[in-house]
């Protein structure tokens, strides 16, 4: 009788251990699967290249975005992360005002982003920095980028502009390298692009009422983006614009 009781107890213990082991294995497997495949975990930056080259750098801040989303998918959990800037000797790199290292959190449950500002200080003309953007919680992911900077003093006291094409719209980016605020006059053919007039001073329009000329104030050492709506599937070139300086209103 005692033998039967002992055997029964042993069987119960084995079954209990088996069930517990199976549950633990399943839980562990699920966690590892989540971790290794990064299901539901998105941590990205604007940079998609190992090396970013700035051939015409004027010494101003370099900026990029850190996000918790990819397309329309986002991470549910808060993401703690840090950004570290590694430089050569005699070069100072500040991240969002902090020397070398910056810590922050992206809120989960919605698309969240944060702008990172790199301030590189040096008397040298050619500088190399490495930016390490790393999530620390809930999962670890490291994004490394080398940035090569060539400081060009000739562009200080001038302006530049570029047109970036997207699927249904384009952005006209005007950069003011002067050490004072400037006004810029922009002209183009309205049959190519229709401008969003929410943040510009309209000067002239065509017979249909579409804007063909506007002015825009740009702060010193700053860049502004003006949105245009594409009228065809072809990519537009910045040469369609005529941009000149205009007097600032007092």
CATH class for the region spanning 44-153: mainly beta
Closest of 171, 182, 169, 189 to residue 216, by C-alpha: 182
Query: Would you list the domain boundaries of the chain?
Result: 44-153, 157-246
Domains 44-153 and 157-246 share a fold: yes
pLDDT at 50 over 80: no
How sure is the predictor about 87, in pLDDT bands with cuts at 50, 70 and 90? very high
Locate 2 and state its tokens.
């005692």
Q: What is the DSSP letter of 188?
A: -
Listed residue (96, 92, 100, 97) closest to 59, CA to CA: 92
Highest mean pLDDT among 26-30, 137-141, 149-153, 177-181: 137-141
pLDDT of residue 22: 46
pLDDT tens profile 111-155: 999 999 999 988 888 899 999 999 999 999 999 999 999 887 666
| Share of residues in the chain with pLDDT > 70 (%) | 81
* Best-predicted range by mean pLDDT (101-110, 157-166, 169-178, 191-200): 101-110
Classify domain 157-246 at the CATH topology level. Immunoglobulin-like (2.60.40)
The kind and range of the H/E element at 5 are helix 2-37
Task: Give CA–CA dist 139/144, Å, rounded.
Answer: 16
């Amino acid at each position: 009788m005692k033998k039967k009781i002992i055997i029964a107890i042993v069987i119960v213990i084995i079954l209990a251990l088996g069930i517990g082991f199976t549950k633990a294995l399943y839980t562990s497997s699920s966690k590892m699967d989540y971790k290794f495949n990064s299901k539901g975990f998105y941590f990205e930056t604007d940079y998609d290249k190992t090396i970013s080259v700035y051939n015409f750098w004027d010494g101003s801040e370099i900026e990029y975005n850190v996000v918790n989303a990819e397309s329309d998918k986002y991470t549910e959990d808060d993401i703690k992360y840090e950004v570290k800037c590694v430089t050569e000797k005699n070069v100072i790199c500040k991240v969002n005002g902090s020397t070398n290292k910056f810590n922050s959190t992206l809120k989960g449950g919605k698309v969240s982003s944060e702008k990172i500002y790199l301030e590189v200080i040096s008397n040298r003309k050619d500088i190399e920095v490495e930016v390490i953007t790393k999530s620390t919680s809930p999962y670890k992911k490291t994004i490394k980028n080398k940035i090569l900077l060539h400081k060009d003093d000739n562009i200080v006291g001038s302006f530049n502009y570029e047109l970036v094409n997207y699927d249904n719209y384009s952005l006209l980016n005007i950069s003011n390298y002067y050490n004072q605020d400037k006004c810029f006059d922009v002209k183009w053919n309205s049959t190519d692009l229709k401008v969003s007039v929410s943040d510009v001073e309209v000067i002239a329009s065509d017979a249909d009422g579409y804007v063909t000329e506007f002015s825009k104030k740009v702060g010193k050492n700053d860049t502004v983006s003006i949105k245009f709506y594409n009228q065809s599937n072809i990519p537009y070139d910045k040469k369609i614009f005529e941009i000149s300086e205009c007097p600032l209103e007092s």
